[in-house]
Amino acid sequence: MSRKEGQKRKLLVLLEILARETDEKHPLSVPQLVEKLQEHGVVAERKSVYDDLNTLNNLPDAKYEIVQQRGRGGGYYMTEAPFELAELKLLVDAVYASKFITARKSKILIDKLGQFTSTYRQEELDRKVLVSGRIKSTDEKILYTVDALHAAITAGEQVTFKYCDWNLQKRMAPRHDGQLYRVSPWVLVWENGNYYLIAYTEGRLKHYRVDKMQNVHQLPDTTREGAGEYANFDVNTYMQQMFGMFNGPLKRVTLQCENRFAGAMIDRFGTAPILTPCADGEHFTMTAEIQVSPQFFGWVAGFGTGVVVSGPPEVRAEMKKTLDQLQELYR
């Protein structure tokens, strides 16, 4: 190895030592750095290490800073690594909370994220975040499905896939006897812990749950359709109108709510709808565009007598019909 190549390797090894084995609570002195370099098979003198530290600190566009801590027990440590510890913790929490990522893949990803901080701080990433009722997927193929869909979206090409449902044997069974779906993918969205593909097919935009898609294949030399429809499509509005990602007729629905549920309505519909106080001072009304479905009626029923469908009449009648049917089941 030439002297120039040896110097480059020494700088890289020193940088890795500082990144992985130091922080403000665990600085390393120059003699300790010399020992660490020797453990990595790099022979260095104390004077050259001082020069190397200065070189690393003056590299253009460096995303870090090597700080000298003076006094007893002092030394050098790296700060401003690619990610702050708080940022890494957020990413780790997201991995823990994502039910489509298997337990095995979660551990691998979190271990990889830990490489962006010191070994001491890496211990703090063992967050053990608990998400009530969250069942981790056992199928890692979804990661590659997401990747294939992103590639097709970027290329502006169509895809084919089989769409599945769970059966009583706890297996994914393709719909329509395994018939291939062919769609034009436009965007992936995240809702309630699941990925959904928004795609154009049969003259309109529809959504598909990604973990139910199998054998996704990008179709080279095809052209994605539905550009005009997608240009006028508001993803956030679309997601907000649905309950449990179930479709239904779009209606402007008015709800009368007890004042204590103002927060619940804002959480669900945002701050755009106007909350109009009622004359009794204990209720308010609000109107929102909703895709009316049994899941919507179930959501309303969950508030008991605190939320009532005021209109339109056909939606109120459908709500009453649903409640009558449920009451009949429990007689």
- pLDDT score of 91 more than 80: yes
Dist CA 94 CA 245 (whole Å):
21
Domain ranges of the chain: 3-79, 85-125, 141-233, 250-329
Cα 13 to Cα 18, 20, 142: the distances in Å are: 9, 11, 36
pLDDT > 90 in the chain, percent? 47
SS3 147: helix
- pLDDT score of 130 more than 50: no
Could you name the CATH architecture of 141-233?
A: Roll (2.30)
Where residue 329 falls among pLDDT bands split at 50, 70, 90?
A: very high
Please report the pLDDT score of residue 138 as a whole number: 60
For residues 207-234, give the mean pLDDT. 93
Tokens at residue 142, please? 């979804």
Condensed to tens digits (0 to 9), the pLDDT of residues 264-293 reads 999 889 888 999 999 999 999 999 999 999
For residues 124-129, give the mean pLDDT. 63
Q: Please list the residues that pair with 140 across neighbouring strands.
A: none
Please report the pLDDT score of residue 90 as a whole number: 82
Domain 250-329 belongs in CATH node 3.30.70? yes
pTM of the model: 0.64
Dist CA 92 CA 106 (whole Å):
9
Domains 141-233 and 250-329 share a fold: no
Where residue 94 falls among pLDDT bands split at 50, 70, 90?
A: confident
- pLDDT score of 137 more than 70: no
Where residue 133 falls among pLDDT bands split at 50, 70, 90?
A: very low
The stretches of the chain forming alpha helices (DSSP H) are 3-21, 30-39, 46-57, 85-97, 103-114, 119-122, 141-155, 227-231, 235-241, 262-269, 294-301, 313-329
Pairwise pLDDT comparison (105 vs 292), residue with the higher score: 292
Tokens at residue 246, please? 């179930």
Please report the pLDDT score of residue 127 as a whole number: 57
CATH of 3-79, one of 3.40.50.300, 2.40.50.1070, 3.40.50.620, 1.10.10.10: 1.10.10.10
Residue 28 CB partners (closer than 8 Å, separation 6+): 17, 18, 21, 22, 36, 75, 76, 77
Tokens at residue 134, please? 């969250």
- pLDDT score of 74 more than 50: yes
CA-atom Rg of the chain in angstroms: 28
Question: What is the residue type of 145?
Answer: T
Tokens at residue 42, please? 């790099």
Exposure of 169 in the CB half-sphere (CA atoms within 13 A): 3
Comparing CA positions, the residue from 182, 183, 223, 189 lying closest to residue 205 is: 183
Residue 281 CB partners (closer than 8 Å, separation 6+): none
Instruction: Indicate the range of 137-141, 157-161, 163-167, 216-220 predicted with least confidence.
Output: 137-141
CB 81, CB 21: distance < 8 Å:
no
Dist CA 298 CA 281 (whole Å):
27
Comparing CA positions, the residue from 286, 277, 279 lying closest to residue 259 is: 277
For residues 237-264, give the mean pLDDT. 90
- pLDDT score of 119 more than 60: yes
Quickly tell me which residue has 């190549």 as its tokens.
Answer: 5
